[in-house]
Amino acid sequence: MSTVRQYELIYITPPEVTDEVLADLHTQIAAIAERFGGSINKTENWGRKRLAYEIAGQREGVYVMEVIDGPGIMTAELDRRLRVIDTVMRHLIVRVDEDLAIAERATTERKTSMAARRVKRGLPPEPTESERRRHSENSDDDDTDVMGDAGFSPRGDRGDRGDRGDRGDR
């Protein structure tokens, strides 16, 4: 048997598709996944959104994302079936388990290196509650005034540029 991996399936249906048709499509996908020993972990209906470009005469579509666990051969069957279903305008299947493992590994490495640096400085490996509280009070998470009195705005507002000096003939 193949290795079980995690995939994200995103598909777009026409905006006039009813909830019953979406539920039927979901059951078809679940049946294919179960036939290959997989399962659907999560289903998110992202709702009706404007498309970047016109697809099959439609400017809007209903986006649905499903997180599926299963073997690689399951994706080939899903891809084949979704291509022939008329209610699916576009679909995409992406393997996400490697990305999740890389992110988890990076988080673990970051925590261990931070603990090692703290121990080198003679501190406990984990920050104390008072250090966390002090850090959260000093953090600049709000975008109200990033550079203090410098007048810098992170949104690209250049404001009054004043005299730009002599530019000469152009």
For 38, counting Cβ atoms within 10 Å of its Cβ (0-12 exposed, 13-18 middle, 19+ buried), the class is buried
Domain assignment of residue 169, yes or no: no
Q: Which domain holds residue 20?
A: 5-95
Contacts of 131 (CB under 8 A, 6+ apart): none
Residues 19 and 86 in one domain: yes
pLDDT digits (tens, 9 = 90+) for 100-155: 778 888 888 888 888 888 888 888 888 888 877 887 777 655 544 444 444 445 55
pLDDT digits (tens, 9 = 90+) for 86-104: 999 999 999 988 777 788 8
DSSP 166: -
Task: Using the 3D structure, point to which of 56, 75, 95 is the last residue of a domain.
Answer: 95
pTM beyond 0.85: the answer is: no
Question: Hey, which bits of 14-137 come out as E strands?
Answer: 39-55, 58-70, 90-95
Category of 158 on φ-ψ map: left (φ > 0), alpha (ψ -120 to 50) or beta: alpha
Residues 119 and 75 in one domain: no
